[in-house]
Structure 1
Amino acid sequence: MKNRIGFIDFLRGFALLGILAVNLPYFSKPMYLVASLGENSTLLDSIGSWIVAFFFESKFYVLFSFLFGYGFFIQLENNQEANSRSRYFRRIFGLGILGLLHGIFLFIGDILLSYAILGALLWFLRNKSSSWLLKLSLFCLVIAVFCRMGMSLAEGEFKSQLETNLPRLLEESRKAYLGGFWESNVQRTKDTILSIPFLVFYQWPTVFSMFCLGFFAAKNSIFSDWERTKPGFRKLFPWALILGILGNLIYTLHSRHILSENPSVFLKILYAISDTFSAPALTFCYVYLLGNYYNSGRSFADRIWFETMGKLSLTCYLGESLICTWIFCGWGLGYFDQLGSYIVLVLTVPIWIFFGVVSLIWKRIFFLGPMEWILRSWTYWEKIKIL
């Protein structure tokens, strides 16, 4: 692809690690237990859960969404033919089908279908000005605050219903995921449907905000010349770091039930605002630090590792889900609800490294990853060469 920027692929490879760390708990135990008051029984497991909450949760779908917007703008710029519209929406439709299958057969927290639905709107933003995109991005974050406030105010009713039905729900979940292939798929479909309100109200406004920000960054070639970009990022970094650390500390204390379980309405509003803005702030800090590292001599040995995974990000994302499903479901190794949060966090590293090695081997032989090949062949409505 023309105009491909190595640092964008580098960030995608890094994002795959963070996404895996966030997703693994949802593979390993009933979704009702993740981040619940009774999730952990040891201090080590609690520490593992706190690490995921502070450093990973909400940060990496933000980063991936930003990169999605950035990448789609580049694709639109590289495809100005008369049939580019049909290609774009074929790609969106193909991505949606992959997301639907992913949610049924592999992972309840699929993001691809959401990307396809929201990504369809990006076509209509391709000619908008930079200032317009920035304003829309900020507006979507404001919408995200109100959505999270609404969810927070309504969670009392949800919790009371959940507590009444929790023993039955946990038993059904354990039995299904430790059962056969079809039993786990039926349960996963049910869980995926139940998670839709969370995806729509908690994630969608932020996702679309990051899409717009990614469009803005690509439109202004933010990452084409790091030396030009670096001074502006350096000015923002201290403020983003303060907001990121303080906001994510509050998020971790609140989400892991260290603070009061019955906060006042004022605190609920504060939590919603803090959560919405502190996650992108810390994500910005990751990008700034990685940008400095990537553009220094120290990164040369690591570039090929991260960049190769980034080029095969769709294959790696779906492949990680396949491996995790095999580890925890009854038709595989059957470790569902048997490992603590700390061990689950540690598992992130070898799984990510495994796909790093596979990516390097695969790219020595093939030009495209298998899932990238399928999606691109569908998009162009022809059999794309994979070698």
Structure 2
Amino acid sequence: MNSNRIGFIDFLRGFALFGILAVNLPFFSKPMYLIASLGENKTLFDCIGSWIVAFFFESKFYVLFSFLFGYGFYIQLTNGPKNSTKARYFRRILGLGILGILHGIFLFIGDILLSYAILGVLLWFLRNRSIPQLLRLSLYFLVLAIICRIGMSLAEGYFKSELESRLPQLLEESRKAYLGGFWENTKQRTIDTILSIPFLVFYQWPNVLSMFCFGFAAAKGSIFSDWEKTRSGLRKFFPWMLIIGILGNGLYTLHSRHILPENIQIIWKFVFAITDTASAPALTFCYVYLLGNYFFSERSFGDKPWFESMGKLSLSIYIGESFVCTWIFCGWGLGYFDQLGSYLVLLLTPFIWIFFSIVALIWKRFFTLGPMEWALRSWTYWKMIR
């Protein structure tokens, strides 16, 4: 694998960290029961901030990270001694799962690391599949995602009525806990993390598996080793993906942010489930295509170090962003929980991301690995990595 290919993957990770932060910040800043609800926003600016997150960021960046995870899985298989590949991989998966549990309890209710660890076990058994087989599996999991979305849509009315009856109590408990001390935060976050598991399983897991397979197939095909060749192939799909991405995510925004009527016919729930599932990967495809054109051009020379440094430290920065966000909003820190609207929360995103990009640049001057990467790699290789 040449340096350009590795560099572009790190570049994509650095970009994805921005999108992940934009999606995660609302879950740090207010009770999870308010996110994307009718009562979330009070002003037009807050509504606009919520619409921007829904259209450009929601569901696109965990899809991108899942693709990169599958891509990285292939790199792990092809590097290092073959006789210890299985042991290394499952140690890495276990370490990732432990980090995910700790992250979900102490920092962020929407942790994705534990999901990656659990689903990554299945990826091991797909390692010998051919590229066409992996692509078909990716499509099958995408169909499964649509089926799960339809099921969630049909059950939405029941859960909404159950939630509305308990909402005032839940909001009061959440605000009191997150504005309290560290252990009050931890207890409430653990409860919220457990409650979010069904959502993760039915809403995210099929998409994650689809992108795992797609990323693995992409790595096997070395699609980023020759960008000029890859670009000519991707260019054929770009106009269609852009149309699907814009129209589908526009519909998703109208639907998820309650701009469309609430009481709709069942047929429309099927339409929303299909468009919601298909349009996020379509727009993600457009992001990757446009970023690839930019990265492999001379214009990106000055930006590469920022994005690539963050990409190489993506695990440390992901957890570091969670720590900073928790400090901003929880009672043991600055205590801004449920006090900032969606517009101001969105404006925080570039400032936090730029702060960590500077940290990453400085860190890479002195160290090869980030602290979390060092710990996970040392555990994976079962020896202290320098």
1:132 aligns with 2:133: yes
CA-CA distance at 1:80 after TM superposition? 4.4
Aligned to 1:244: 245
Matched AA of 1:156: G
1:176-325 equivalence runs, <5 A: 176-325=177-326
Aligned to 1:160: 161
Q: Secondary structure at the match of 2:299?
A: helix
Aligned to 2:23: 22
Determine the C-alpha separation between the residues in 1 that align with 2:222 and 2:313. Answer: 23
Contact 1:181 1:331 in 2 (8 A): yes
Aligned to 1:144: 145
Find runs of 4+ consecutive structure 1 residues off by over 2 angstroms.
1-4
Determine the C-alpha separation between the residues in 1 that align with 2:219 and 2:163. Answer: 44
Aligned to 1:63: 64
Contact 1:180 1:331 in 2 (8 A): yes
Determine the C-alpha separation between the residues in 1 that align with 2:84 and 2:49. Answer: 49
Q: Secondary structure at the match of 1:109?
A: coil
Which stretch of structure 1 is more off in the superposition, 4-13 or 139-148?
A: 4-13
Determine the C-alpha separation between the residues in 2 that align with 1:17 and 1:82. Answer: 37
Aligned to 2:11: 10
Cα RMSD of the aligned pairs, angstroms, is: 0.9
Contact 1:2 1:78 in 2 (8 A): no
Contact 2:145 2:202 in 1 (8 A): yes
Determine the C-alpha separation between the residues in 2 that align with 1:131 and 1:379. Answer: 30
Determine the C-alpha separation between the residues in 1 that align with 2:85 and 2:66. Answer: 22
Aligned to 1:51: 52
Give deviations 1:166-198, integer Å, cap 9, x for gaps: 000000000000000000000000000000000
CA-CA distance at 1:277 after TM superposition? 0.5
CA-CA distance at 1:81 after TM superposition? 2.0
Matched AA of 1:162: L
CA-CA distance at 1:217 after TM superposition? 0.3
1:172 aligns with 2:173: yes
1:336 aligns with 2:344: no
Determine the C-alpha separation between the residues in 1 that align with 2:77 and 2:31. Answer: 40
Q: Secondary structure at the match of 1:5?
A: helix
User: Unaligned regions of 5+ residues in structure 1, if any?
Assistant: none
Aligned to 2:117: 116
Determine the C-alpha separation between the residues in 2 that align with 1:124 and 1:72. Answer: 12
Matched AA of 1:248: N
Contact 2:2 2:225 in 1 (8 A): no
Determine the C-alpha separation between the residues in 2 that align with 1:200 and 1:263. Answer: 25
How many residues are paired up? 385
Determine the C-alpha separation between the residues in 2 that align with 1:63 and 1:79. Answer: 26
Aligned to 1:105: 106
CA-CA distance at 1:142 after TM superposition? 0.2
User: Unaligned regions of 5+ residues in structure 2, if any?
Assistant: none
Determine the C-alpha separation between the residues in 2 that align with 1:302 and 1:70. Answer: 23
Determine the C-alpha separation between the residues in 1 that align with 2:64 and 2:324. Answer: 23
What is the TM-score when the length of structure 1 is the normalising length? 0.98
CA-CA distance at 1:124 after TM superposition? 1.0
CA-CA distance at 1:241 after TM superposition? 0.2
CA-CA distance at 1:2 after TM superposition? 8.0
Q: 1:80 to 1:135 in 2, by over 3 A?
A: farther
Contact 2:104 2:111 in 1 (8 A): yes
Q: Secondary structure at the match of 1:258?
A: coil
Contact 1:40 1:341 in 2 (8 A): yes
Matched AA of 2:214: L
Give deviations 1:269-303, integer Å, cap 9, x for gaps: 00000001000000000000000000111000000
Determine the C-alpha separation between the residues in 2 that align with 1:197 and 1:80. Answer: 38
Determine the C-alpha separation between the residues in 2 that align with 1:220 and 1:2. Answer: 14
CA-CA distance at 1:79 after TM superposition? 3.0
Determine the C-alpha separation between the residues in 2 that align with 1:105 and 1:127. Answer: 37
Matched AA of 1:183: E
Aligned to 1:83: 84
Q: Secondary structure at the match of 1:382?
A: coil
CA-CA distance at 1:27 after TM superposition? 0.1
